[in-house]
């Protein structure tokens, strides 16, 4: 598989170096912002019950870079990348739930800091990311992708905005569809790690600028919290007790309680910041 | 300007990268089309939240729950493969109220949306019209934002 992908990549690069990657399947331009449905021949409509029953969660969880964009659009000046702690999170651990969460935090930190971090720190985090993916049994191809990124960064062929875009694709396109030997719970727990880090940084930014009136729009996401709780509390025959996972479960239940309030206040933002921080400091 | 690594990733469909739970042959075409749109979007400062691929039979649909931030601008992009003539894309709020529907009759619909409130929304993707004598089609969807 490794060789096949590498060879195919080389062949495709040779064929496409000076032209767009691939012609779209249809030339007709897509419509934008459509509410006018008069030209459609057959329109299917969906009831609330039908939507709720069939909904899949693959696109449910916002990513830290998206949180940062929302902060910026709300007029909050703090940059999340500047607030990321300078720490070395291990992605080797016997508890795979914990490895998945740790990997998610490292991924979030990478995406948020990639544009301006020193090369050696980005490379170090990528090494941790690769280690985490390997530990949870992700396929060889994600390892190949990370190796390619490491080589390109080492050669100064990948940096700045392009590096951010590569990280964006890695976390937004490859990770959500990841197949792992460990099971379907891995991706949600990687997402949980990234989201937890994002929520911690966002609540920190709101605190730093005393912008508590923006908390509802930034931090109230009960469906996301419920989604994570489902995977953290899942039954598993070989699941061993783990203090980080136990703290994560406690934090998610605190966040669920906070999200149920009609309006988030200063105290709620502080609760979110401390509850998420309580997990992150254990990593 | 793309470097070679980036070009390689852009043209390698998800199924060949070993991701995606049901990577059928017709999904690779939808993947490639969608990736082209994602890379093109980077030029205009669009970033990607999530991309995913599925297979739909005639009249079949997929529903995705998405969290969207007030203040951010979103584009939901879809690519169908050659087996499908018309894919529909519909956005609903959490109460099921229809907010927007693509008005094209083709296999590459997109919807733009700027939420007034941060909330969860439903995105429905529907195989409205498949080519003759075709049993299913590959359909790829991305949620992008800026």
Q: What is the DSSP string of A176-218?
A: GG--BSS-TTHHHHHHHHHHHHHHHHHHHHHHHHT-GGGHHHH
Most A CBs within 10 Å, among B1, B11, B120, B141, to test the A interface? B11
Give A77: exposed, middle or buried? Use CB within 10 Å, 0-12, 13-18, 19+.
Answer: exposed
What CA–CA distance (Å, rounded) separates A175 from A154?
A: 23
Percentage above 70 pLDDT, chain A? 83
For chain A, the distance separating the N- and C-terminal CA atoms, rounded to the nearest angstrom, is: 33
Q: How far is B136 from chain A (nearest CA, A)?
A: 16
Closest residue in A to B47 (Cα–Cα) = A168
Q: Say yes or no for a CB contact (<8 Å) between A168 and B48.
A: yes
Cβ B125 vs Cβ B141: under 8 Å = yes
* pLDDT, tens only, A58-67: 999 999 999 9
Cβ A57 vs Cβ A160: under 8 Å = no
* pLDDT, tens only, A122-158: 999 999 999 999 999 998 888 999 999 999 999 999 9
Which CATH number is B14's domain given?
A: 2.60.120.380
Closest residue in A to B14 (Cα–Cα) = A174
In 3D space, the residue among B80, B92, B124, B87 whose CA is nearest the CA of residue B104 turns out to be: B87
What CA–CA distance (Å, rounded) separates A99 from A109?
A: 15
DSSP state for residue B17 in the 8-state scheme = G
* pLDDT, tens only, B28-75: 899 999 999 999 999 999 999 999 999 999 999 999 999 999 999 999
| Nearest beta carbon to residue B51 from set A45, A65, A173 | A173
Q: Say yes or no for a CB contact (<8 Å) between A142 and B9.
A: no
Q: How far is A40 from chain B (nearest CA, A)?
A: 7
In 3D space, the residue among A64, A185, A87 whose CA is nearest the CA of residue A136 turns out to be: A185
Chain A environment of B36 (Cβ under 8 Å): 20-24
What CA–CA distance (Å, rounded) separates B10 from A139?
A: 19
**In terms of residue numbers, what domain contains B70?**
4-145
In the predicted model, is pLDDT for residue B140 greater than 90? yes
Strand order in the sheet with B74-80: B47-56, B137-145, B74-80, B110-113
DSSP state for residue A29 in the 8-state scheme = P
Task: Check residue A124 and give its pLDDT.
Answer: 96
What is the complex's ipTM, to 2 decimals?
Answer: 0.84
* pLDDT, tens only, B93-125: 999 999 999 989 999 999 999 999 999 999 999
| Nearest beta carbon to residue A21 from set B36, B47, B59 | B36
Closest residue in B to A10 (Cα–Cα) = B8
pLDDT, average across residues A6-10: 36
Task: Check residue A31 and give its pLDDT.
Answer: 35
Q: Model's pTM, two decimal places?
A: 0.84
What CA–CA distance (Å, rounded) separates B131 from A36?
A: 25
Chain B environment of A152 (Cβ under 8 Å): 3, 5
Task: Check residue A19 and give its pLDDT.
Answer: 36
* pLDDT, tens only, A197-245: 999 999 999 999 999 999 999 999 999 999 999 999 886 644 667 889 8
What CA–CA distance (Å, rounded) separates A239 from B85?
A: 47
What CA–CA distance (Å, rounded) separates A93 from A106?
A: 14
The structural domain count of chain B equals 1
Task: Check residue A183 and give its pLDDT.
Answer: 83
């Amino acid at each position: 598989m490794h060789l096949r992908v590498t060879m195919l990549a080389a062949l495709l690069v040779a064929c496409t170096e000076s032209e767009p990657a691939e012609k779209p399947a249809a030339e007709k331009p897509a419509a934008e912002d459509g509410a006018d449905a008069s030209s459609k021949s057959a329109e299917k409509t969906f009831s609330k019950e039908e939507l709720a029953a069939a909904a899949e969660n693959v696109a449910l969880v916002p990513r830290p870079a998206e949180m940062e964009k929302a902060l910026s659009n709300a007029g909050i000046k703090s940059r999340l990348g500047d607030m990321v702690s300078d720490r070395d999170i291990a992605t080797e651990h016997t508890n795979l739930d914990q490895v998945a969460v740790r990997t998610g935090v490292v991924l979030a930190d990478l995406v948020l800091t990639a544009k301006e971090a020193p090369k050696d720190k980005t490379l170090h985090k990528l090494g941790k990311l690769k280690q985490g993916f390997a530990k949870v049994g992700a396929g060889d191809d994600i390892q190949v992708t990370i190796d390619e990124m490491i080589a390109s960064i080492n050669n100064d062929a990948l940096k700045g905005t392009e590096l951010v875009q590569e990280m964006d694709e890695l976390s937004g396109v490859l990770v959500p569809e990841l197949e792992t030997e460990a099971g379907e719970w891995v991706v949600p727990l990687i997402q949980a790690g990234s989201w937890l880090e994002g929520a911690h940084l966002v609540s920190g930014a709101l605190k730093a600028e005393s912008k508590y009136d923006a908390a509802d729009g930034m931090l109230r996401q009960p469906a996301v919290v419920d989604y994570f709780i489902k995977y953290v509390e899942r039954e598993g025959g070989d699941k061993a007790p783990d203090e980080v996972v136990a703290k994560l479960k406690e934090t998610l239940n605190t966040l669920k309680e906070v999200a149920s309030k009609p309006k988030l206040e200063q105290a709620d933002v502080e609760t979110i910041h401390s509850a998420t921080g309580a997990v992150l400091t254990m990593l | 300007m793309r470097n070679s690594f980036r070009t390689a990733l852009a043209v390698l469909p998800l199924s060949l990268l070993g991701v995606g739970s049901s990577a059928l042959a017709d999904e690779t075409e939808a993947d490639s089309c969608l990736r082209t749109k994602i890379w093109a979007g980077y030029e205009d400062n669009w970033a990607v939240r999530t991309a995913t691929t599925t297979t739909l039979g005639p009249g079949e649909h997929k529903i995705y729950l998405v969290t969207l931030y007030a203040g951010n601008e979103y584009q939901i992009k879809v690519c169908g493969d050659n087996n499908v003539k018309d894919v529909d894309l519909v956005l609903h709020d959490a109460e099921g109220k229809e907010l927007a529907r693509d008005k094209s009759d083709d296999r590459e619909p997109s919807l733009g949306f700027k939420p007034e409130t941060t909330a969860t929304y439903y995105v429905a993707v529907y195989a409205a019209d498949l080519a003759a004598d075709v049993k299913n089609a590959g359909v790829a969807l991305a949620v992008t934002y800026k």
